[in-house]
Structure formats: C-alpha cells, structure tokens
Amino acid sequence: MTTDRETETGGTDSEHDGSAGGLPSDRTASNPNYDGAFDAVVVGAGLAGSAAAVTMAREGLDVLVIERGASPGAKNVFGGVLYTPTIRELVDLDDAPLERYVAEKRFGVLSTEDETAVSLRPGEWHAEPHNDSYTVLRGDFDEWFAEQAVDAGATLVTETTVTGLLRDDDGTVVGVETDRPDGELRAPMVVLAEGGNSLVSEGADLKGRPDRGDVAVAVKEVLEFPDSDDAIADRFRLSDDAGASYHYFGEGAVGDAFGGAFIYTNDDTVSVGLAYRIEDAVTGQPDPERTLDRFKSHPAVAPLVRGGRTIEYAAKTIPEGGADAIPELVHDGAVVVGDAAGLVLNNGVHLEGTNMAVESGYHAGRTVASALADDRTDAAALRAYPESLNESFVVQNLEHYEWLMETVREDRDLLFRDLPRAVADAGEEYFRIDRQPKALHAENAKTRLLRTVGGWRGAAKLAWRYRKVIS
Amino acid sequence: MSTHPKTPDVDNATLEDRLYTVKYEDPGDSHLDVKVPGFCAERCDTDDCVDVCPADVWRKEEGDDVPTIAYENCLECGSCRFACPYNNVEWEYPENGSGVTYRYG
C-alpha cells in the first residue's frame, strides 16, 4: 500500500512533485512510471471521488486520486448544505469540519418588493444526527474527506490535471493522461469524478456536452460581519451550532429566470448566492453578478446580509437535467460519478447533489472492487453500479421529480411572477386593518388569488398538476 | 413615503473587489479560446458568452468581431462553454494547479 504523506500534509503552499512516497526508486518526478502500480485512478478529489476512493481502498484496492487543485476542494463550489447519511456510514463524522447543523428551513417567495415565506424549525432537528443536514465549506470539508481516503490507504496527488484517457486497441479505457512530464498512467479502472464541467469525460466521448437548458450557472459569496460578532445568531435566531438554510424563489430572487437564490449560515460566515438556467442567463436576465447584487438588496434580504464583507466570490455550473440527462455511467474500464454524471436534484424544495455524489461514488467503488476481484473491467461487469444506483434514492428521487422541471417551465410566469405577486397582495388584503369587516377582506383576498390562477377550476388544475411535489 | 423607507443599504463589492478575494495563479497562457474565430465574426450576434459570464472574462466592444478573453478573471465555472450555441468555446483545465483556488468554496 502506498500513501503520499507529503501531499496529505503538505497544505496548499508546498511544492508537490507528484511522486508517491514508498514507490520503487525508479519512479521519480521526471519519470513517474506508476504504470500498473494502482488498481484504480480517481479523477477529482471532490465528494464523489473521495467517496469512491474510501470505498475502494477499504476493499483493499490500490487507489490513486488525482486532483487538479492545490488541495482537495480548491476548485470546488456548492451552495452550502451537505446531507450526510452515507458519509456517516463511510467515515467518522465526529472530527469533520462541519459548520452548523440545519435547524431551520425557510422557503420565501419574493416579488420585487414583497416576501411570503414558510419556515420550519422542527425540535427534532436539534437532536443528533440533526436530520443529517449540515452547512459546510468545501475548502475544509473536501480536504478532510480526501484525508479519510488517504487514511484508508489511497494515494492523493494534487496540482495534477488529467487531460485525457488512454485506451487500448479495443477502446477499453486503460489509464489517464496528465499534465505531468511523461504523465501517462496506466491502471485497470478509471473513476471519473471531475464535476459538472467534465472536460475529460466529454473529450473521451463518454458523455455529450449537456444542453444549456439543462445546466444552471451559479454564483455565491461568502460574507463575514466584521462589525458585529452576533450578526448571524441575531439575524437568523440561532444559538450554539444551530444553523439556517433559506431558499428564495420568484422575480425578487432571480428575475425572469428559472432558478432560485439561497442564504446558508456557516459558523461565522454566511453563504449567499443564486442559480438559474444558462438558457435564461443569455436572454433578458442581467448577468449573474448583477442578479446577485439585486437579490442582496431586496427589502427582505438586505437586513440579513447588510454589513457583510465579501471574503470570497465563486461561480459554478450545475447539471440540472434530471434523470433523462444522466449519461451512460459505465464504459469498458471507466465509470462516471457525481456531477459529471449529472446527479443533482433540484425540484425547488429539495436541493441536493453532494449526497448523490457520495452515494454514486460509494456504489461505483463497490462495483469496481467486485469487478476487479473477477479480473474484469468491461462495461458488462460494471452494470451493478448503475443498477444499484437505480435502486437507491438517487435515481428514484430524480425520476420521481422528472416531470416537475418541464411542468414548472411551462408555468414559469405564473409560478415565479404572477402567483408570488398575488399571494403577497392577497396577504396584504387579508390582514388589512381598517373599519371594514374581516369577511370583506377575506373575500377580496380570495378573489385576488383565484383571478390569478384562473378561478376554482384553475386552482384545482394547478393543485393536480403539482400534487406529486409533496406526495 | 417610499414603500421601504428603511431597507438597509447593502454595499455590494465591485467585480474587481470580488475577484480579488480569490487566489489566482496565472498559468501563463489562456486556458480559454474560441475554436473558430469565423463563427464569432460571421454567425454570432448574441454574444451569449459575454452575457453568461459571472466574472467578465468574455468581452466584446462595439466593432469587435471576436470577443477578447480576460482569462485571468476566470472562476472556472464553464458556463461560457455551455452557453455558446455554436459550441465554439475552447476550454481546457488550467495546468498544474494553476488558475483559481477557492479557500471556502
């Protein structure tokens, strides 16, 4: 078993020569002949890659994880909540760099001036394991999770970019090309965990370039509050390690676009950002940065973020094509996991991806170990990976909500613009204080809502159309 | 009286200041390019790469045939690559750990 302790402990500033301690001395930085030294190469040390690496290393495989960033997580961005049921099975989370557990979920619909929100603070969420929902920062968490893979026996090299795949005469993937000198590296299996901007998988024709209607562009800021130590606890009504996850929809969040915005509380920072379809970003909607400015200045949002100093600005693309957009996951000698496989659920209520990444990495890792035990790397021997993924929550959830995206797209103006306005107006009317009887206000509020949805018949149709959101 | 007399001011950082929060190591050459300049010059009149970019990497001034690329601003999201209707964006990962490094992510 070979472990690269230098890389593990080297941090972001030290030099990495790509050599792995413990390998035979003929393998040097200028001649890194690792061919055949590893059973599997994992491309990318994000959550999917490290989950696969932990799983395979525990199964006794020699695993090499190649990360293009200076450290795991250095190139990674996400909204901010990690769901941990599977991670908790794989590693001990006690020492993990978790920020806060999610004690409140808030869903707010924003018109340009108004907010109408539903907030949930179940008492149960204060008890461990806190509904397996924690805010994290990927720079910390991914580095820690990759260390768990190294502790399990995997080798990690950073600052190394995989530029392509090696194939034999039959087309079977037999290794990777990297940007290191003589950087070809042969191994029986390659796990592609390179994220949503998956150049290697696309370049090797393992998947096509996703349609821009299936990809969202996201921007995020991490804010700190230099003038107020208690800003986060006070503004979000939090104590101890409790945290909040706020989600926003409607034109006050992302304008005319199809998407949403968010605020998540970290330990002593707040993550604020938004995501919307690239298809919309290229039409009328202002660019992502301007849209973020506008969201932060919304009357319902500004009090939460005012005085915040931006300590990081980040951007990412999110594959949101759902079950129909999942590419072929197994190939001769290779499997695709995580964002690269399009495993992201965004139905407006559940915004999940990292748990799907971990789950896919886990199933892929188990399948690779099992196939290699039989001396096989062909796609047929790897079918257990997509099959187990199909039976898991990952594909079941994606398929359950597959209908939603298309339906929401058809109803976009109603759901994101007209209805939020009507709900805010109806609320204003319903609670209006004057010298009129309450019954009159209630009637007016009802009329306002019904007019927007097309009467009782329209309301019934709408309820029927969206019944599966909560079923 | 305005509807929201007391909405607090939010001082949004400029893009320059925002980009300054991110550690960046220059790979020396651009990891971004256009595949066929002729597509931009002759076919494209929507400049979707410019509209989508969260970091102002893609820029087109009046009269430019092809966008200029400030690759040093790039946050490596890849949105330009998906946005281009002609699949005309050449995108490579920056080499050897160069490019952007996020501290928080």
Residues A148-185 pLDDT 10s: 999 999 999 999 999 999 999 999 999 999 999 889 99
Residue A318 to chain B, least CA–CA distance (Å)? 9
Do the Cβ atoms of A281 and B12 come within 8 Å? no
For residue B8, the chain A residues in CB contact (below 8 A) are 302-303, 306
In the chain, the amino acid numbered B20 is Y
For residue B22, give both structure tokens. Answer: 């991110």
Q: Is A101 helix (H, G, I), strand (E, B) or coil?
A: strand
Confidence band of A30 (pLDDT split at 50, 70, 90): low
Do the Cβ atoms of A315 and B75 come within 8 Å? yes
Confidence band of A11 (pLDDT split at 50, 70, 90): very low
**Contact present, A63 and A154 (Cβ < 8 Å):** yes
For residue A196, give both structure tokens. Answer: 């949503």
Write down the pLDDT at residue A34: 78
- Pairing state between β A270-277 and A259-265: antiparallel
Q: Taking residues A77-89, report their average pLDDT.
A: 96
Write down the pLDDT at residue A22: 39
> For residue A65, which phi and psi values (nearest 5 degrees)?
-105, 125
Query: pLDDT per residue over B71-97, tens digit each?
Result: 999 999 999 999 999 999 999 999 999
Q: How far is CA B94 from the centre of its chain?
A: 15
Which residue in the set A161, A287, A306 is minimally distant from B53, CB to CB?
A: A287
Write down the pLDDT at residue A15: 40
In the chain, the amino acid numbered A248 is Y
Q: Which residues contact B26 (CB under 8 A, 6 or more apart)?
A: B72, B98
Question: Could you tell me the CA-to-CA distances from B11 to A176, A310, B21, B22 in Å, in that order?
Answer: 46, 10, 16, 19
Residue A147 to chain B, least CA–CA distance (Å)? 17
Whether pLDDT at A452 is above 70: yes
User: On the CB side of A426, how many CA atoms lie within 13 Å of its CA?
Assistant: 18
Which residue in the set B51, B78, B91 is minimally distant from A282, CB to CB?
A: B51
pTM: 0.91
Do the Cβ atoms of B83 and A139 come within 8 Å? no
Residue B29 to chain A, least CA–CA distance (Å)? 14
State the count of interchain CB pairs (< 8 A) between A and B.
Answer: 161
Q: How far is CA A456 from the centre of its chain?
A: 38
Write down the pLDDT at residue A410: 87
Distance (Å, rounded) from C-alpha B27 to C-alpha B71?
A: 10
- Pairing state between β A189-192 and A334-336: parallel
| Cis preceding-peptide flag for A129 (omega within 30 of 0) | yes
Query: pLDDT per residue over A198-213, tens digit each?
Result: 999 999 999 999 999 9
Which residue in the set B53, B82, B94 is minimally distant from A212, CB to CB?
A: B82
Mean pLDDT of chain A: 91
Write down the pLDDT at residue A210: 95
Of all residues in chain A, the percent with pLDDT exceeding 70 is 93
Query: pLDDT per residue over A326-383, tens digit each?
Result: 999 999 999 999 999 999 998 878 899 999 999 999 999 999 999 999 999 999 999 9
Do the Cβ atoms of A315 and B55 come within 8 Å? yes
Confidence band of B48 (pLDDT split at 50, 70, 90): very high
- Pairing state between β A345-346 and A351-352: antiparallel
Confidence band of A32 (pLDDT split at 50, 70, 90): low
Which residue in the set B18, B56, B96 is minimally distant from A161, CB to CB?
A: B96
For residue A364, give both structure tokens. Answer: 């892929």
Q: Which residues pair with A261 in a beta bridge?
A: A248, A274
Write down the pLDDT at residue A31: 53
Distance (Å, rounded) from C-alpha A85 to C-alpha A129?
A: 9
Q: Which residues contact B96 (CB under 8 A, 6 or more apart)?
A: A159, A160, A161, A179, A180, B27
Confidence band of A7 (pLDDT split at 50, 70, 90): very low
Write down the pLDDT at residue A396: 92
For residue B103, the chain A residues in CB contact (below 8 A) are 139, 312
For residue B75, the chain A residues in CB contact (below 8 A) are 313-315
For residue A179, the chain B residues in CB contact (below 8 A) are 95-96
Looking up tokens 């991670």 gives A87
Distance (Å, rounded) from C-alpha A166 to C-alpha A148?
A: 28
Show the CA angle centred on residue A92, arms to residues A91 and A94, nearest 5°. Answer: 145
Whether pLDDT at A3 is above 70: no
Write down the pLDDT at residue B5: 61
If one counts every other C-beta atom within 10 angstroms of the C-beta of residue A23, the result is: 16
Q: Which helix (H) or strand (E) holds B25?
A: strand B23-25
Distance (Å, rounded) from C-alpha B96 to C-alpha A162?
A: 10
Distance (Å, rounded) from C-alpha A403 to C-alpha A414?
A: 17
Mean pLDDT of chain B: 92
Q: Taking residues A405-431, report their average pLDDT.
A: 89
Do the Cβ atoms of A73 and B105 come within 8 Å? yes
